[in-house]
Each structure stands twice: as C-alpha cells, then as structure tokens.
Amino acid sequence: MSKRSRNRRRDDALTRVIAVVNDKGGVGKTSVAANLAGQFAGAGYRCLLIDLNRQANLADDLGFRGSDVDDRGAGLLGSVIAGTPLTPAVDVRPGLDVVCGGARLEDLTPVMVSRLQHHGREAFRVLGDVLAPVAVDYELVFVDCPPESTILTDLALAAARWVLMPTRSDVGGLVGMTLVADRFALAREINARLRLLGVVLFGTGTRSTAVHGEVRSAVEKAFGGNSPWFETTIRHAERSAQDARRLGKLAHELEIAAAAQPAWWEALRMDITAPRLSPTAAGVAGDYRALGVEVLTALQSAEENERDDDRRGAAGPA
C-alpha cells in the first residue's frame, strides 16, 4: 500500500476521534467525556473512551478503579512503546470500552521526550497510529485529556479530528482556553484535519447572558471569530457530582437510581440509612442528552459538508 493510501486509511479511522481538552483542571473534561460516551453507548453507539490522566478520574466516574480491568495505564504505555494497537477494556458499560489511564502513564513522558529529540513533533503521531486499527470498531471515540500536561495533550491533539472544550466561566477557565488555542494551532502543523467541534460552558449556575457573552468573546478571541459553540450548558449540581464519583455512576444512571429510591418517609420507616441520591441528577442528565444531540448534529453536518467538498473535488473545476 502506498504511503498516501495508508495515511488516508488512518485519517478515515480517526474521523470520529474527539479530544476533550482544556489546560485548566476542574473544568469538566472527565465528566463531559464520561457522560457523553456513556449516553451514546446507552443509545446504541459503539463508543471508546481513552483516559490520558495519571489520576484516572474516569475510573471513579465509571466505577472500575481497582477492578480487574483497571491496568492503571499499562496497556496504553505498552502500545505506545511497542507501536502495537491499543487493547481496550471491553464493555465497562454495554457498548462502552475504555483504554485506562493511571499511574503507569508517568513513564510516557520520558519516552516521548526522547522520541521528540530524535523525530521532532512527528513523534506525536504515535497515539493515532496505535489507535487507528482499533478506532474502526467504534462510532465515537472520546479522549479525556489531562490538565497542564503538554506532552500527553499533544498526543491527543495529533490523533484527534475534533476538539471539544469544556470551560467554566471564571478567569482561570478562560486562561486555560487561550493555552489550548496556542497548542491547537501547533498541533495543526502535523494534524491539518484537527478542528474545534465546540466549546461548552460547564458547571454554570447562571443563565446570565452577560456571563455567557463574556465566555463567548473569550472563545472568539482565542480561536478566531465564528468559533463553534454549544448552546447547551451543563448546570452546576454539586451534590449529584459527589454522588457520581462516590458511586461510580453517570448522571443518567443516577437519574434512574434516584427515581427508584423510596420516598424519604418510607426510607425512614424502613430504617434505610444510606445517603439519599440527589434528584438534581435528572437535570444534569438532561443537559448531557441535549449536549449529545448538539455534538452529533455538529459531526453530521461537518461530515456532510466534507462529502460535498469531496464530490466537488472529484467532479473537477466547472
């Protein structure tokens, strides 16, 4: 196979890889990646989640930390070193597979530093190389990126087709966005297909149009005018976020569990002392559903435009 058709095949395999990125921690990257992937899997899409975090919060959100499938990043590290396809943990939820993160990813940074010295920025393509043979089995792939870790985020940006950026509305969140924009521009030198899918405002307690406008103008300043933007915001719901990490359940799973719990007076009568689940999970789950619809619509319309461009290209100049 020629290099050109090999590259084309690689690009096609990676066409629905979405990196969830922001250089700032605590802006919702892991929550958004886990909940979108979990909801899409629940709706029948084959999904893969890749965790590039040493802390592996995804293992908490999905409730598999310390279980047999949790390799703490060893599989991902091994694949990158050997150049062999990733081996995801299968069916962490029905239809949802996971490439685990964890402490073993510590060793990835020195490996990459040495490769960068020998091969320059092209070395970042390795994650796409080991992902492409596996990605063909999935309809959607989400990469949960770490905060403030240049090399691991650069690996994700070199593999992904799309960037989805959650942000909070505070100043710190907005600074993180500018850093991502710089890194995004650099990544496009080796991954010209990389695009911003959209920015989503996370954990917001306000419907204030002034605040939303402020964030929006920060996005446009960082990424240029007409930057895509999701209308859906993920509401601030601290108690349901705590339930999620404590129980290893996604918002829509908490929604079902909260609806099934006995009324508080019945729980009292039955002497049930377990803490009650917050009913706000239903609202959060609804936000993720709305975001999922927007994400899918954005992907489909971008793909349609691309097909039109291809057809026009094949037809040649009029």
Ligand X SMILES: Nc1ncnc2c1ncn2[C@@H]1O[C@H](COP(=O)(O)OP(=O)(O)O)[C@@H](O)[C@H]1O
Which residue, 29 or 54, is less far from Mg ion as judged by CB? 29
Q: Report d(CA 250, CA 42) in Å as an integer.
A: 11
How do beta strands 89-93 and 96-99 pair? antiparallel
31 binds, among Mg ion, ligand X, none (CB under 5 to 8 A by kind): ligand X
CB of 310 to ligand X, least distance (A): 35
Which residues lie across from 256 on neighbouring strands? Answer: none
Backbone angles phi, psi at 205, to 5 degrees: -100, 0
Binding mask 181-220 for Mg ion (x = CB under 5 A): ----------------------------------------
CB of 56 to Mg ion, least distance (A): 9
Give the residue among 156, 162, 142 at the shortest CA–CA distance from 98.
142
Distance of CA 67 to the CA centre of its chain: 22
Does residue number 234 form part of the binding site for ligand X (CB under 6 A)? yes
Backbone angles phi, psi at 203, to 5 degrees: 60, 35
Does residue number 30 form part of the binding site for Mg ion (CB under 5 A)? yes
C-alpha Rg value of the chain to the nearest Å: 20
How do beta strands 140-144 and 162-167 pair? unpaired
Q: Report d(CA 75, CA 51) in Å as an integer.
A: 11
Contact with ligand X (CB under 6 A): which of 10, 14, 16, 31?
Answer: 31
Task: Give the SS3 label for residue 268.
Answer: helix
Tokens of 287: 């936000």
Which residue, 58 or 196, is less far from Mg ion as judged by CB? 58
Contact with ligand X (CB under 6 A): which of 27, 158, 163, 194?
Answer: 27
Which residue, 123 or 202, is less far from Mg ion as judged by CB? 202
CB of 267 to Mg ion, least distance (A): 33
Site for Mg ion in 52-91 (CB under 5 A): 57
Which residue, 126 or 197, is less far from ligand X as judged by CB? 197
User: What are the residues binding Mg ion (CB under 5 A)?
Assistant: 29-30, 57
In the complex, which residues of this chain contact ligand X (CB under 6 A)? 25-31, 57, 147, 203, 234-238, 241, 245, 284
